Structure 1
Amino acid sequence: MFVSTAQIATDNPQRLITRLCKHWGHKFPVSFEALQGEIQLGLGRCLLQAQDNALDVRLNAADDEQLQRLETVVSDHLQRMTTKPLPTFDWQRQA
């Protein structure tokens, strides 16, 4: 299993979780509540956790290529879900 994580500074992480989960809920298995969400995409799994002024994102994929694609897809979609641009995502690969 390949894993990548990022912490994104944002004023309203709960809103991003809700918007992203609802957006993908018609296409993929999704579960979410106020402070966390999980999306089972075709490329892998996306876990979202709200923190104070930040959103923690954890991605799991079967291989490195899928993980790279998942990083791009999740980053792009999170940028679309916010009214203010998010800072650059600093993905950290886990061994």
Structure 2
Amino acid sequence: MFTTKGSVKTDKAAKYLVQLCKHFAHKVEVDLGETTGNVAFPMGPCVITAHEDRLTFDGQSHKPEGIESMKGVIIVHLDKFAWREAPLDYHWEDGETPAP
């Protein structure tokens, strides 16, 4: 399983969490909580968490291309919602979990 952990600093994390999850819910299953959203992307699941000063992303995919696609989808959409804060500074840490 391939993984990614990402973060982006923003003072509007809670607002963007809701916007992202509501937007993604038009096409995929989303479970939105108070500070987290579980998004069932076709390439794999991603948990988006709103913190006081940042959004974090914790995604998984069976293929490395799925991780790149997931990051691309998140960046494109968040950049549109947060255009007043552009450019956003994303930090990603990709990895791979060993097969059982």
The two structures have a TM-score, normalised by structure 2, of 0.86
TM superposition shift of 1:88: 2.5
d(CA) in 2 for partners of 1:86, 1:29: 29
In the TM superposition, structure 1's runs of 4+ consecutive aligned residues that sit over 6 Å from their partners are none
Contact preservation (8 Å) 1:5, 1:58? yes
d(CA) in 2 for partners of 1:15, 1:8: 14
Over the matched positions of the two proteins, sequence identity in percent amounts to 22
Correspondence for 2:15: 15
Which stretch shows the higher mean deviation, 53-62 or 84-93?
84-93
d(CA) in 1 for partners of 2:93, 2:28: 25
In our comparison, the structure showing a higher alpha carbon Rg is 2
Unaligned 5+ segments in structure 1 are none
Correspondence for 2:92: 91
Map residues 25-40 of structure 1 onto 2, 5 A cutoff. Answer: 25-40=25-40
d(CA) in 2 for partners of 1:18, 1:5: 19
Correspondence for 2:3: 3
Specify the code of the residue in structure 2 equivalent to 1:91. W
Correspondence for 2:74: 74
- Aligned pair count? 95
Q: Deviations over 1:4-36 (max 9, x none)?
A: 011110011111110001001121000112211
**Helix, strand or coil: the match of 1:91?**
strand
Contact preservation (8 Å) 2:37, 2:49? yes
Across the aligned residues of Structure 1 and Structure 2, the Cα RMSD in angstroms comes to 1.3
